[in-house]
Amino acid sequence: MFEVLTVEETLKIIEGAVKPTKAEQEEIELIHALGRITGEDIISTEIVPHFSRSTMDGFAVRAKDTFGASEGMPAFLEVKGEVLMGRSPSGDISSGETMKISTGGMLPESADGVLMLEHAEELDEKMIAAYRPVAPGENVILQGEDLKEGEIILKKNHYLRPQDLGALAAAGVMKVKVNKVPRVAVISTGDELVSPEEVPLPGQIRDVNSYALATAIQQAGAHPLLYGIVKDEAPVLMEAIERARKEASLILISGGSSVGTRDVTAKVIDELGDPGVLVHGISIRPGKPTIFGMVESTPVFGLSGNPVSALVTFDLFVVPVIIKLRGMNPQDIIYPKTSAKISRNIPSSQGREDYIRVTLETDEKGETWAVPVFGKSGLITTLVEARGMVRIAQNKEGIEKGEEVEVALYS
C-alpha cells in the first residue's frame, strides 16, 4: 500500500523535483504573441508618443494665460486657427492666443495645456472666453510621457496580455522573441477504452480524458501530444513513455494509478529511471491515487481514469509544472476567484482535502450562493454544470450552510 501525502507535501515535492530550465526561444509576429512568455527584455527604440497631444476636445493654450479665469471673470483668448487631425499645427501660439484642437491632436510648440470645450465660449470666429483655469500638463499627454528611448517596455518571462501587445505596437515592435511552448504528452491506459468516434461495446467506454486533458493543456499554455490508448501492460506502456520522452517535456498518463493487479503505471515509472515515483497517493478527494514521478529529468504524472478526478488534480498539480516549464514562477500566477455563501451543509473527513464542484446563484437580495453539484468522479457532466470549485481544508470536518467560502472559478 502506498503512503498518502498531503496536498502541501505533494506540491513541495513537485516543486523541488522539477527544476527551472532555460526555455528554447523563437521569434514570432506580434499578432500571434497573446499568452506567450517574453524570452528577453523588450526595450523601446523610440519615444512614445513622439509628439505632445491633446486628450480632450477643446483649445490648446499656454496655461498661464488662463490663471484666475472664472465664470465671473473669464480670460479672453484670440483663436489663431485649428489643429487638424493627423497634421502638425500650422503655426504656434503666443501669449493670449489659442488654437482649437480635437482629442489626439498635436499641441502647438508653446502650448502646455488644453481648455476643455465645455469650459469655453466661442464669442466669434476669432475670440473665446475661458471660464476655468488650466494647469500646466492638464488634458495633454506630453512627448515621451508613455515611453522613453532605451526604456524597458516588458521584462523577460512576462506573460503577454492584450494591453502588453498594445504597448509594443505603440513602440513599433512588430516581432517579439518568446519562449517556445512546452509539449505535453497524454497517454491513456485501459483495456476498456475505445476512441470517442467508435461505438463502445458492452464493457467499453469512450476515452474522455485524452480530449479533456489535451484542451486543459492548451488552456495552460502548452501544446498537447496525444499518444492514444495503451493497453494495461508494462512493456506497451514503457514503450509509449520512452517515445513520449523524446518528444515532450512533461508526460501525463491517464488511468492505471490505483492499486490493482492491472495497474502498472507506478511500476513502469520506477523501472524507467531514477528517481522514479516520488508521490503515490494524496489525501484529496477526488484524486487520491494520483502519481508523480521523475524519469531522469522528465516529470511524469499518473492521473486517475475518472475525468473529474483527472481534471481536478491537473489544475492542482500539473498546471504549476507547465507554468514553470513556460519560464514563469507559479507563485506569480493569480487565478480567478470569487466569494459566495455555501447553500447547504457539506461534511468532510479530517485529514483529507475535499474539492466540491459548485454552480453560482444570486438570490433576490443580491447575495451569491455556491450550490454544490454532486456526482461521482466518473461523471464528466458534473464539471459541465459547475462554475468552480470550493476547497474544504484538511483540518476541517466540513462547512455549514451560509458559511462564506472562496470559489476557484473555471476559466
Q: How confident is the model at residue 375 (pLDDT cuts 50, 70, 90)?
A: confident
- Give yes or no for residue 379 having a pLDDT over 80: no
- At 402, list the grid cell: 451560509
Q: At what angle do helices 234-247 and 265-272 cross, to 10 degrees?
A: 60
Q: What is the pLDDT of residue 219?
A: 94
> What is the predicted pLDDT for the residue at 1?
52
DSSP classification of residue 48: B
Backbone angles phi, psi at 58, to 5 degrees: 170, -135
Buried b (16+ CB within 10 A) or exposed e, 45-65: eebbbeebbbebbbbbbbbeb
Q: What does pTM read for this prediction?
A: 0.83
Percent of the chain residues topping a pLDDT of 70: 97
Model confidence at 260, in pLDDT bands (50, 70, 90)?
Answer: low
Name residues whose C-beta falls within 8 Å of residue 357's C-beta, 6 or more positions apart in sequence: 308, 372, 373, 374, 375, 382, 383, 385, 386, 388, 389
In this structure, which amino acid lies at residue 313? T
* Domain identity same for 320 and 341: no
Does residue 75 share a domain with residue 156? no
Q: Which of 306, 332, 358 finishes a domain?
A: 332
Q: Do both 308 and 255 map to the same domain?
A: yes
Query: Which CATH number do you get for residue 171?
Result: 3.90.105.10
Same-domain check for residues 126 and 60 = yes
DSSP type of residue 318 = I
Same domain, 259 and 385: no
Of the candidates 44, 43, 74, which has an alpha carbon nearest to the alpha carbon of residue 61?
Answer: 74
CB 209, CB 194: distance < 8 Å: no
Nearest-10 Cα torsion for 373, 374, 378, 382: -10
For residue 301, being part of any structural domain is answered with yes
Which distant-in-sequence residues (6+ apart) come within 8 Å of 271 by Cβ?
234, 238
Confidence of residue 263 (pLDDT cuts 50, 70, 90): low
d(CA 409, CA 339): 10
Residue 237 lies in a domain: yes
Q: What is the pLDDT of residues 90-133, one digit of tens each?
A: 999 999 999 999 999 999 999 999 999 999 999 998 999 999 99
Q: Please give the Cα distance from 134 to 107 (Å, whole number).
A: 15
CA 137/CA 62 separation, integer angstroms: 10
The 10s digit of each residue's pLDDT in 264-293 is 889 999 999 899 999 999 999 989 999 999
Does the pLDDT value for residue 251 go beyond 70?
Answer: yes
* Residues 225, 171 share a domain: no
Comparison of pLDDT for 181 and 411, the residue scoring more:
181
Single-letter amino acid, residue 85: M
Q: Evaluate if residue 142 carries a pLDDT over 70.
A: yes
Output the CA–CA distances (angstroms, integers) from residue 391 to 284, 292, 301, 312, in the order listed: 10, 21, 22, 11
Is residue 287 situated within a structural domain? yes
Domain hosting 189: range is 7-23+181-332
Q: Is residue 364 part of a domain?
A: yes
Pair 246, 300 in one domain: yes
CB atoms within 10 A of CB 326: 22
What are the Cα distances from residue 168, in Å, to 100, 141, 161, 173, 221? 31, 18, 11, 5, 21
Measured CA to CA, the distance from residue 77 to residue 126 in angstroms comes to: 8
Q: Are residues 152 and 163 in the same domain?
A: yes
Angle of CA points 248, 253, 254, to nearest 5°: 140
Number of domains the chain contains: 4
Element (H, E) at 153: strand 152-154
CATH number, residue 290: 3.40.980.10
Which amino acid type is present at position 370? A
Kindly state whether residue 2 falls inside one of the protein's structural domains: no
Same domain (yes/no): 133, 62: yes
Alpha carbon 389 to its chain's center: 18
Residue at a domain's end among 304, 332, 360: 332
Give CA–CA dist 277/268, Å, rounded.
Answer: 9
- In 182-320, the DSSP E strands lie at 183-189, 193-194, 205-206, 223-230, 250-254, 275-280, 284-285, 291-295, 298-303
Would you state the pLDDT for residue 261? 42
pLDDT of residue 258: 58
**241 & 299 share domain:** yes
Look over the chain and give the mean of its residue pLDDT values, rounded to a whole number.
92
Pair (261, 214) in one structural domain: yes
Question: Based on the domain organization, do 39 and 157 belong to the same domain?
Answer: yes
Question: In this predicted model, what pLDDT tens digit does every residue of 358-373 receive, in sequence order?
Answer: 999 999 999 999 999 9
CATH number, residue 387 = 2.40.340.10
Q: How far is the C-alpha of 284 from the C-alpha of 290, rounded, in Å?
A: 9
Within-domain flag for 194: yes
Peptide bond into 74 cis (omega under 30): no
**Is residue 1 domain-resident?**
no
In a domain, 129, yes or no: yes
Which of 280, 306, 332 is the last residue in one of the domains?
Answer: 332
